[in-house]
Amino acid sequence: MKVNTQNLDLWTSLKEALKGTEVDYTSLPLEKAIFLLAVPMVLELFMESLFAIVDIYFVGSLGASAVAAVGLTETYLFLLYSFAIGLSMGVTAIVARRIGEKELEKAGTTSLQAILIGIIFSIPFSIAGLFYSRELLSFMGADEKVLTEGSFYIQWALGGNVVIMLLFILNAVFRGVGDPAIAMKVLWISNGVNIILDPILIYGFGFIPALGLEGASIATIIGRGIGVVSQMWVLFHGSQHLQIVKKKFFLKIEIIYLIIQTSIGGIAQVLIGTSSWIFIMRILAEFGSEVIAGATIALRIMMFTMLPAWGLSNAVATMVGQNLGAGNLERAEKSVWITGFWNMGYLLFVAIIYFLFCEKLIGFFSSDAKVISIGSEWLKIVSYSYFVYAWWMVSAQAFNGAGDTMTPTKINLVFFWILQIPLCYILGKYFELAQTGVFWGIFFTETSVGLFTLWLFSKGKWKEFKV
């Protein structure tokens, strides 16, 4: 599909996307609307990933036990992220639909209810972190040194998880209303604070004592907390897309029920995806530590290079939600096709890089010949499926943007649990193809899920979904 360059002056649009805009995404030329949404969403994902990179960079100097404590804590945080990301899907879909309907006050009321839900959902995690920190680490197999070093870390990480939950939910609100630049800028602020505070609180500075691993957790909570305060200020004072009626900041059961109902599928989507990779890694573990090392490095490379693709896909959710709300069904569908071709083009470029330079990419992280060989094999095999997988990402987000989060959930359940895990096990163990069989099993299922989701999207029933 040809992009109308008259509607998309790249340099001007890039500056506008980074600055933020109050445009109407239901009437703006499609290519420009998608571009304005996608650029800050891509950068938002980069900023979110930077939290983990910065923390592990500084914590790494504290020794293996400190790194292990972070890794074990992240196991519980992944569960928290599943709820936060799933809720975000529902919130974005509903807020975008209200904006498209020009119901600004209802969009504002939905945002307030989403905040209340986030606070309520965070309470069990806070209780667990504050009062059962040692038990949680012990359950994951931590030794005494990790328990000693990690207890305070997990107390802060889970005890203060409300800022993580609210950061995700409020950024989902801004994506829904079409203000993704705000979400991006908030994470710039959060990361800036975290980068400054991490070395100060970990190693000490002047009158500030060295807090070690606990300091890393405090720095992250403070950084995210300042981000949430910034979000709240913009929500109540700085967004023209929302009408916030403060007196309505109390529980409205019907809206809360709608948000939870719409989000259940999103939560399940994330849980299914996360748990399926746990099973895949467990199968790969049967073939030795070099296989795990090669697969881990390859997976990190894939996750990082796919961030722009996820940013493009997230833009689809906003475009679909707002245009369905405005009754522009054809425009909603067209936005998915345009974004899909852009996404396919990007991932085709990534696939070529994987195919040509896979050994150099893996070799940047490891000098072990076997690890390089195994990681390179996965990158090369996965490169064959990327142009199709691009369509799964976009099509799934189209369903999510329409509020139909259960359809992608069912698709993920069938293709990633019922099909992928058994197929990888059979090819790897029964046919004795080892990791090569697992990699080809992943290729087959990811290609299949891309084709099937795109076909289901083309049927058009998602246009009839009501939220």
300-332 pLDDT, tens digit each: 788 888 888 998 999 999 999 999 999 999 999
Number of neighbouring beta carbons within 10 Å of residue 285: 12
pLDDT-derived band at 3, boundaries 50, 70, 90: very low
Q: Residue 153's Cα: distance from chain center in Å?
A: 23
Q: Which of 253, 18, 9, 216 is nearest to 120 (CA)?
A: 253
| pLDDT at position 243 | 66
Instruction: Read off the pLDDT of each residue in 287-300 and give the average, rounded to a whole number.
Output: 83
How far apart CA 347 and CA 383 sit, in angstroms, is 9
Q: What percent of the chain has pLDDT over 70?
A: 94
Burial class (CB in 10 A: 0-12, 13-18, 19+), 318: buried
Q: Which residues pair with 208 in a beta bridge?
A: 205
Considering 110-124, 226-240, 241-255, the range whose residues carry the highest mean pLDDT is 110-124
pLDDT tens digits, 162-208: 999 999 999 999 989 888 888 888 888 998 898 899 999 999 998 88
Asked if the model's pLDDT at residue 38 lies above 50, the reply is: yes
- Quick one: residue 324, left, alpha or beta (phi over 0 = left, psi -120 to 50 = alpha)? alpha
| pLDDT at position 1 | 46
Residue 196 three-state SS: helix
| pLDDT at position 48 | 72
pLDDT tens digits, 423-461: 999 999 999 999 999 999 999 999 999 999 999 999 999
* CB under 8 A, 24+ apart: contacts of 237-242: 238/182, 239/174, 239/177, 239/179, 239/182, 240/22, 241/22, 241/99, 241/104, 241/107, 241/177, 241/178, 241/179, 242/104, 242/107, 242/108, 242/111, 242/173, 242/177
How far apart CA 314 and CA 308 sit, in angstroms, is 10
**How far separated are the first and last CA of the chain, in Å rounded?**
31
Instruction: Read off the pLDDT of each residue in 35-42 and give the average, rounded to a whole number.
Output: 87
| pLDDT at position 191 | 85
Instruction: Read off the pLDDT of each residue in 393-421 and give the average, rounded to a whole number.
Output: 94
Helix, strand, coil in percent for the chain, rounding step 5: 85, 0, 15
pLDDT tens digits, 104-113: 888 888 999 9
Asked if the model's pLDDT at residue 72 lies above 80, the reply is: no
pLDDT tens digits, 128-151: 999 998 998 888 777 788 888 888
| pLDDT at position 360 | 94
Phi, psi (rounded to 5 degrees) for 252: -120, 100
pLDDT-derived band at 408, boundaries 50, 70, 90: very high
- Model pTM? 0.84
Residue in the block written with tokens 């207890």: 151
| pLDDT at position 273 | 81
Q: DSSP assignment of 198-250, as one string?
A: HHHHHH-BTTBPP-THHHHHHHHHHHHHHHHHHHHHIIIII-SS----GGG-S
Which is more confidently placed, 161 or 140? 161
Which of 12-16, 167-171, 363-367 shows the lowest mean pLDDT across its residues? 12-16
Collect all residues with Cβ–Cβ distance below 8 Å to 433 and sequence separation of at least 6.
427, 440
Q: What is the pLDDT of the chain when averaged over all its residues?
A: 88
Collect all residues with Cβ–Cβ distance below 8 Å to 419 and sequence separation of at least 6.
445, 448
| pLDDT at position 422 | 96
